[in-house]
């Protein structure tokens, strides 16, 4: 997890499904800590990479897969997509400055409404 978080710039933002924007290293660490647990596997594949003419910004879009266990220990498989914006830092290293990802799975049906008396 530390290696994943280290890919983000200090002022980066992560936009996860169903949650507020996480900005800065502590908030990004908390996002990944909530996603990565024992038995969790995450993989991704870049399908499109574009670098700005200025050579200091890049955009990556692609697909991702997540396998984890729910609270009952049952396997959960998810697939989705992502967009990342990378920026070359003053030291020449590339870091993520914006990351958004979401699922391709349909929304769970809403529970039935309580009957009114």
**pLDDT single digits (tens) 56-103:** 999 999 999 999 887 788 888 999 999 999 999 999 999 999 999 999
Report the pLDDT averaged over residues 98-113.
87
Confidence of residue 31 (pLDDT cuts 50, 70, 90): very high
Of 17-21, 31-35, 104-108, the poorest mean pLDDT is in 104-108
pLDDT tens per residue, range 33-55:
988 878 889 899 999 999 999 99
Cross-strand pairs, 99:
14, 84
Region 2-103: CATH code: 3.10.450.50
Q: What pLDDT, on a 0 to 100 scale, did the predictor assign at position 114?
A: 80
């Amino acid at each position: 997890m530390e290696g994943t978080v280290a890919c983000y710039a200090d002022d980066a933002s992560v936009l996860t499904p169903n949650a507020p924007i996480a900005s800065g290293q502590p908030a990004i660490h908390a996002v990944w800590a909530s996603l990565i647990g024992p038995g969790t596997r995450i993989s991704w594949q870049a399908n499109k990479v574009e670098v700005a003419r200025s050579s200091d910004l890049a955009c990556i879009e692609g697909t991702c897969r997540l396998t984890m266990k729910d609270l009952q220990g049952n396997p959960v498989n998810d697939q989705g997509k992502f967009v990342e914006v990378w920026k070359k830092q003053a030291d020449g290293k590339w870091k993520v400055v914006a990351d958004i990802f979401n699922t391709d799975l349909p929304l769970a049906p809403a529970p039935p409404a309580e009957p009114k008396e």
